[in-house]
Structure formats: structure tokens, C-alpha cells
Amino acid sequence: MSKTISINAGSSSLKWQLYQMPEEKVIAKGITERIGLKDSIFTIKYGDGQKFEEILDIEDHAIAVKKLLDQLIELEILGSYDEITGVGHRVVQGGKYFDKSVVIDDDVVEKIEELAAFAPLHNPAHLMGINAFRELLPGVLNVAVFDTAFFANMPKVAKYYSIPKEYREKYDVRKYGAHGTSHRYVAQRAAEVLGKPIEDLKIITCHIGNGASISAVDGGKAVDTSMGFTPLAGVTMGTRSGDIDPAVLQFLMHKLDIDIDEMLNILNKKSGLLGLSDGFSSDMRDIKARRGEEEIDTILNIFYDRIRKYVGSYVTVMNGVDAIVFTAGIGENDQYTREYVINGMSWFGCEIDPEKNLQNGVEQVISTPESKVKVLLIPTDEELMIARDVESLRS
């Protein structure tokens, strides 16, 4: 029996989940927010609906980790530090180096730091969490689980851009994707729910949240994905534009007299649902509350349209599809998105059951028995996938 903690460290946050393994039982979970700012929010949920919350100043991730471990002992969730036998860390960018989860050593730390150039908002934050746990729990197994690893071995036809070869060879410019841990989990879970070997299935996974990506999974392996060199590419998202003609950037930069950094800031933080709604909201719940207004309906149709186009293209990429999976915040909890995406693709024998589709957040097959393509709602569980990878690397 072991206790593994899954960690997702952000620049000012530390989200975690503690498991008893191999039973995969959640013992406790929580988050520390506003790290480095005044009035940090420290939260632990445990037991039978119990919750501990404290507002205090937490200066950095090292202090946040120490506070977390000590509080777990004080709440008698842990008897001592020694009960933690493994720590799994989410890392966004694994670049060309990592096509699977790995035990963290100094060399891995150096490579994650080097790859910060590809994910400047994420990798440095992940490193803060990694360094804090390695210092406080010396000798404990630490594992890096990379968002990009699931897509590392995609076919060249999918991951290479049509730009001069030297840029790929000198600067590693290619498609890396994101949300890989989620896509990997829901594809595997879909196969289990359907009672079929994943090796025999063609699955399209739709991770649709404030950030969104669509992936083609053939025989358990990713063969294409909508996000690209960065998470900016692909479908319309909460604040990200998704795919756009690059010439638009030059045109707008000249018109607005701004540089490329400001242009990318607009595409990442001021576009998507937020930009289309003229700053009203990036949250699908706010947008759909105004359903029926002509402009809002147009925004929603743009959102659905981009998803359908990727799903349709991946049917072609795999020469067929057995299952389509919806997951993440919108995919799990918005029946309208699932309904409008699937109803727009009935041409290949995909039919959704209206009654089942109303049950948000419940793992199930939501297509009709007659549907040639199965449609599933599967809540993602990236933390569990991280904990499983830690266990698989335990010597």
C-alpha cells in the first residue's frame, strides 16, 4: 500500500490530490491559491465532506508545499511525511525529449527548464513545485507526466508544419499538442466502457473547456490533435482564437500599431468567446444564458462549427470512427454543445439520445442504440492518470 500525491503547480497556485494506491482511492484533495500574493487561500477537502480552509500569506511554492504536508499531518490525514511514497507532477511541455512519463532527476529538471521557452507560463511554475517536493521529501519517487507526451509520436504528416525544414531541425518547430493526459485517460476509459480493446478502436476525444482540443486516437495512439506548437491553435476557446490566417496578425499589427507580443496576448487572452461577445464573457454558461439573441446564437454556432470541422476531419484522418468522447468542463456539463456538435454530423450515422444527453457529468454512452458511432460522456481524471504513471514507474 502506498500514498501518491498528484501535483499541478501553476505560477500562483498548487492543486493536488492524494491517493491510496493501488486502490486508487482519493484520500484528500485541495488547492493553494494566490501564492506569492497577500491573502493566499489554502484549502483541503477530506473525509466525509470535511473541509479545512485558511487565509494566510504564502510567499512561494516551497512554503506552500511545507504548509500542505504539515497540515495533512495536523488533520491526521497523514501520520508523517514518510507515508508519501510517490509524487507525480503535471508538466505541460516535454518537447522532443519526453514521449512518456519519467522519474525526475537533475537531467530531467534541466530539460524541463530548457523547454520553458516553449511553455513560458507553465514549465517554470511546474519546476517550482518539483523543486519544493524534491527538497522536502528527499529520496521519494518524483515523476514528471507531460501533457505533450501522448502526441510525441504522432505521424510526421500530422506534426510537421509546411515551413522550411531548417526551422524544424534547428528550432524544433512542430505540433506538440496539449491536454494529452486527459485525452489518454478518456480514450482508455471509453474502450473500457464499450468493453472493447482500445487497439481495435478509432476514437475522437473532445476535451472542451475554457481551453479546448480535439484528438484522433487510432488503436490507442494519438495520430493528430488540434492544438499545435502552442495551445493557441485549433478550435474557438474561452479567450483563445484558435486557428487564424497568420496574415491577419500582420494586418492588425499595422492597423493597431502593436508588436507581436501584444498581438499574441490579444489572441490568447482577449479572443475566443470573450472577443466574439465583445468582452461580455469567456464563460460558456454566461454565453448560453443569452441563447436566442441573434448575435449570441452566431457566437455559439461558430463554437460548435469549429469543433465539428475538426471531428469531421479526423474521421477522414482515421478512415472511420467508432466512438466520439466529450470531456472537460463544457464537454461534461453542457448538453447543448454535445447536442449541436453531434446533430451536425448525422451524415455518418451518429445519433444522440436526448434523454441521456440531459444528464451532465455522468459517465455513460449518450448515443442511441441504433447509432453507428458511439457517443460517450466521460469525466476526465488527469490526477488519477498521473498517480497511475507514478505507480507504473515504482521499482
Provide the 3-class DSSP secondary structure of residue 362: coil
- DSSP secondary structure of 44-56: EEETTTEEEEEEE
Q: Integer distance in angstroms from the first to the last C-alpha of the chain?
A: 14
Placement of cell 489572441 in the chain: 267
Placement of cell 484522433 in the chain: 216
Return the C-alpha cell found at 174.
512542430
Which residues are designated catalytic?
A: 147
Q: Are 212 and 235 in contact (CB under 8 A)?
A: yes
Compute the C-alpha angle 348/354/357, nearest 5°: 95
Placement of cell 488503436 in the chain: 219
- Give CA separation, 329 vs 61, 232, 334, 377, 380, in Å: 27, 18, 8, 11, 9
Q: Are 259 and 265 in contact (CB under 8 A)?
A: no
* Residues with Cβ within 8 Å of residue 203, at least 6 apart in sequence: 187, 190, 191, 216, 217, 218, 321, 322, 323, 324, 325
Nearest to 26 by CA among 41, 12, 45: 45
